Amino acid sequence: MRFIIVVLVALMPLPSFAEATGSGFFIADDGYFVTNFHVVEGGRSFLIRTVNGKEYPAWIVRTDQANDLAILKADGKFTPLAIDDSLNVKRGAKVATVGFPHLDFQGIEPKVTEGIVNSLSGIRDDARYFQISVQLGSGNSGGPLINIYGNVVGIVSSKLKAEEVYKQSGDLIQNVNYAIKSNYLRELVGSIPVLKDHLVSINKKAMKGTEELTGKAEKAIGLIVSIDATEVQPVQPSSETKADKNEQTALDVEKQKQDEIAQYKQKQDAERQRLQAETLKGFVSQGGLTWMPVNESRGSYEQANAYCANTAIIGQTGWRLPTKDELSSLYSSGAMNGHGWALNYTWTSTVGGLFGHYYIDLRDGMAIWFNAGANCSVTCVHKSWR
């Protein structure tokens, strides 16, 4: 009978720090990011902070509440992890995760823990989950469960509520944790046709050890911050709790924690706004296009064209050189004045003469073409999103 009581204990999602942060990882180099649904539930705007300290605004693309999964998107270029087939996972297989538990105590540096797959099913033999011995803490939710090849075989999601088990059975069960199998993520990914073409192939060569495994995972993980999530209300004393010194101390600690959470979120929001303003400095909108400020130069049309076509500028791809008419129109409008542009000879994509391409002198608007290469400045344009 004791065994039955234990397995009936409800699955407990890992509470992220102040219900505002969790872990996650990129699955495509163009910014598709995975975490748990309960990490982003109730949030209206999100930031992803990578290990190098850079922050990227993100938005929800798909959710699967039943399987506690969410896919977000951020603009930029990232290092993704491959998603392996969870049917290949064997009981006893070595696994690890890297994430951001207990920011309030352990700090913002990522933490790695390792263990094994204890069982191929979760609580009450739930086939969606692995039971794992990988040690987890609040804030690990959404992190990748990776195998010895560095591929994702699960998504860290929950742990057994040990205190409830103890109350009902008298047994203190520790370090019983769960991860959603990766095949449920693969199903969710399959609902986003454009994403399937951006996934990376699984690695078939085993990592040399935990250090190499961690190094691979660190490049792909991120701290997810739900900026506008509903704040946790301070704990109120129940009618059964004595209003003694210990209770007051607990309430004081809780209030201090809430204050620190509010300050943290205010700081993150201010930093996000500052970074956004700094990133867009010099960019202008004109003629239905967003224009990159002139701060690059290239020695030939081919080099200039390749720069625009192959560079992720402020996290966006799909840039191109302007035509002669577009650049002439920009000059006539004066929209670039006062934005710190270097006004000189600037490449266009319009062919002039037999072989050369036109460039515009942004000091006087004159259009000239070259048969030979010339060292001219570059501005790239993008269909306006601002």
- Residues 83-108: tens digit of each pLDDT: 999 999 999 999 999 999 988 788 88
Token pair, residue 373, equals 């290469």
Stretch 359-381: mean pLDDT:
80
User: Is 141 a residue of the active site?
Assistant: yes
Summarize pLDDT for 262-271 with one digit per residue, the tens.
Answer: 665 666 566 5
Looking at this protein, which amino acid is placed at residue 359? Y
φ, ψ dihedrals at 345, nearest 5°? -65, 130
Domains of the chain: 2-229 (2.40.10.120), 284-383 (3.10.100.10)
Q: What burial letters (b/e) apply to 21-51, b meaning 16+ CB within 10 Å?
A: bbbbbbbbbbbbbbbbbbbbbebeebbbbbb
Q: What number is the average pLDDT over the span 232-259?
A: 49
Q: Where are the beta strands (DSSP E) in 36-120?
A: 46-50, 55-64, 69-74, 94-99, 111-119
Lowest mean pLDDT of 160-174, 217-231, 355-369, name the range: 160-174
38 is catalytic: yes
Statement: residue 302 has pLDDT above 90: no
Contact 198, 33 (CB under 8 A): no
Catalytic residue among 16, 23, 38, 328: 38
Average pLDDT over residues 276-290: 76
Would the pTM count as exceeding 0.85? no
- Please give the Cα distance from 200 to 152 (Å, whole number): 11
Active site residue: 16, 23, 138, 141, which one?
Answer: 141
Range name among 40-54, 111-125, 233-247, 262-276 with the lowest pLDDT average: 233-247
Active-site hit among 68, 138, 297, 328: 68
Q: Using alpha carbons, select from 78, 74, 77, 95 the residue that is nearest to residue 86.
A: 95
**345, two tokens:** 């000879």
Residue 60 has pLDDT above 60, yes or no: yes
Cα distance between residue 145 and residue 150, in whole Å:
9
8 Å CB contact between 180 and 97: no
